[in-house]
Structure 1
């Protein structure tokens, strides 16, 4: 049995990776685990939660998969990519997939374009239909500053151990991502220690890469990578 764990991002929930999870379930017989990190989910309750609690929860889920499965893959989206990298260093993970992984965050140029689109939609009276506005309005108001600091601490703690990631790694990044800039993917590709690593960019994809119009192309590449036998 093969196990695959998919980890959502900061202030997110399993819905962020749900299209990929559905794809993997449709095309494989793998056990797919999708944990909800402490304080996350449909209702955010992040106050007072330290970043190591997010890691510990993912660790417990991973240990269960390792006990039940012969091989285990880990997929991490955004902050989940940093957690996935940490797990890969400390546990017997066979392959790693990083999606819009937040080694760096906030892409000023793209964020300006997204805000400009929001302003246009607001002027037309269509702001409620703007995907970026709808997805992030609630998050901004429900995220305490202390939680953001914990997110930054997590990123700072994982960056120095990226060179200890030695398993085959696939890194995917949207070029139109206003939250995580393309340089984050390049940084990961440069600093991850694996000799078997691949970097792909999706031209029109924004941050929620699993919900992008290019998701079919992405999911095919992920499954092909995970199923490929080592050379």
Structure 2
């Protein structure tokens, strides 16, 4: 079981650069806690919220909508805006989808750091969630797709089908205006991912309007790469990205 303390929200006051961390579907802040803590140790102001319907019982995800998830990260982003000169957004899986939507809605997002961002699912049945939600409340868990043994992201042991349908609504919304994303972007993608197809990252890289794009391949990690063998690569390269972009003159 994941450390209960790591499943709770995490916030740290730091310097003028803020970083908002967005965890994935059925997951918890535990999946990003180490990354967020190291960002705080580097002197940044950090916000890692727990999204509505997560970190409790899976049934709660069957009574929350994608707008509930987005409203939470939007509120956290606005809070960082008030305290920081620049705000970056990091996201894992669905958290990447939410990060992209923030950049679509807020032209002042300083940069995006995406890890295996989701705009679709490997499971072919997921697309039928809108019908299946009336037949079954949940299916087996999609959590803990991690190559490193003995690691737990604090995900639910079931996948709420109503929530999956909401996830598809979020993806449809985000994909429709990806060209509105113009900020610098670093995208980390695992060579092997059993949850999100590689086409998600391909679509993002093809449709965003960002001129500054860095793609980093993670050869030794599965979907939850932030807790896997390549976690240090993600931390190191993302913090270098933040330092570089934050120091660049504003166009």
Task: Select between 70-79 and 173-182 the one with higher mean Cα deviation.
Answer: 173-182
Find 1:82's aligned residue among 85, 92, 97.
Answer: 97
Relative to structure 1, is the Cα distance of residues 186 and 107 closer, same or farther in structure 2, using a 3 angstrom cutoff?
farther
Structure-1 residue corresponding to 2:199: 183
Residue aligning to 1:6: 21
Judging changes above 3 Å, is the alpha-carbon distance between structure 1 residues 147 and 221 closer, same or farther for their aligned structure 2 residues? same
- Cα drift, residue 132 of structure 1: 8.6
In structure 2, runs of 5+ residues without a counterpart are 1-15, 125-146
Looking at structure 1, the residues matched to 190 and 212 of structure 2 have their Cα atoms a distance apart, in angstroms, of 21
Question: How many pairs align?
Answer: 208
Distance 2:165 2:150 in 1: 23
TM (norm. structure 1) is 0.83
Equivalent residue number for residue 230 of structure 1: 248
Structure 1 unaligned runs (5+)? Answer: 109-129
Structure 1 stretches of 4+ moved >6 Å: 130-134
Counterpart in the other structure of 2:49: 35
Distance 1:78 1:137, change over 3 A: closer
SS across alignment from 1:205: coil
TM-score normalized with structure 2 length: 0.77
Pairing 1:20–2:35 present: yes
Deviation readout 1:152-206 (Å, 9 max, x if unpaired) = 1111110111111000001111111111122322221111110111111111210
1:137 shift after superposition? 11
- For 1:137 and 1:71, the matched residues in 2 are separated by 30
Q: What is the alpha-carbon distance in structure 1 between the residues aligned to residue 177 and residue 195 of structure 2?
A: 23
8 A contact 1:85–1:165 mirrored in 2: yes
- The Cα offsets for residues 120-153 of structure 1, whole Å up to 9 and x where unpaired, read as xxxxxxxxxx979995997353x33111100111
Q: For residue 186 of structure 1, give the secondary structure of its aligned residue in structure 2.
A: helix
- Superposed CA RMSD: 2.3
